[in-house]
Amino acid sequence: MAWSVEDMVELGRRHADIEGERKLDPLMETLVENPSYEFHPLGLGMTGGDRVRRYYAQFFTSFMEQMTGYELLNEWADENAVVQEYDITLQVDGASPETHRVIGILFAEQVDGGRKLLGGERIYASERCIRLMAGELFEEFVPLS
């Protein structure tokens, strides 16, 4: 079974839609068992299903609670990855709204018989935005090698 650009776009959009619905178990089902997340330009990252699950659990209850809006600005894809560019507006601790540009590269890994799941994500955002996304888990990020 050949993996197409359309398959990759569908997987990336499904992941994003489930993330927006804050459904942790279905979201984790879009990922390989041992996903890898990278945060740029900080050069930090994390790996492992347990850590990524903890990341999303707090992302849903902390970061997304502060979101007042978002806009998908653009999307690009090939058969190996989907790149999504967003503006995300947050209101943190009652302060004035702040908008952050975030670029996420969702990349695929083959798991069986041509089928693919997301191997993780490379996220490009400001340090402030990444710290807000990660919450206390930020302290567990390690330098990328």
Write down the pLDDT at residue 116: 93
Average pLDDT over residues 65-81: 96
Instruction: Identify the CATH number of the domain defined by range 5-143.
Output: 3.10.450.50
Round to whole Å and give the CA distance between 78 and 62: 32
Q: What is the dihedral of CA 12, 17, 20, 26, to 10 degrees?
A: -90
User: Contact at 8 Å (CB) between 5 and 106?
Assistant: no
Q: Is a pLDDT exceeding 80 seen at residue 65?
A: yes
Place 114 in a pLDDT band, splitting at 50, 70 and 90. Answer: confident
Q: What does the pLDDT look like over 23-49, one tens digit per residue?
A: 999 999 999 999 999 999 999 999 999
User: Contact at 8 Å (CB) between 88 and 70?
Assistant: yes
* For the chain, domain boundaries: 5-143
- Which pTM was predicted? 0.93
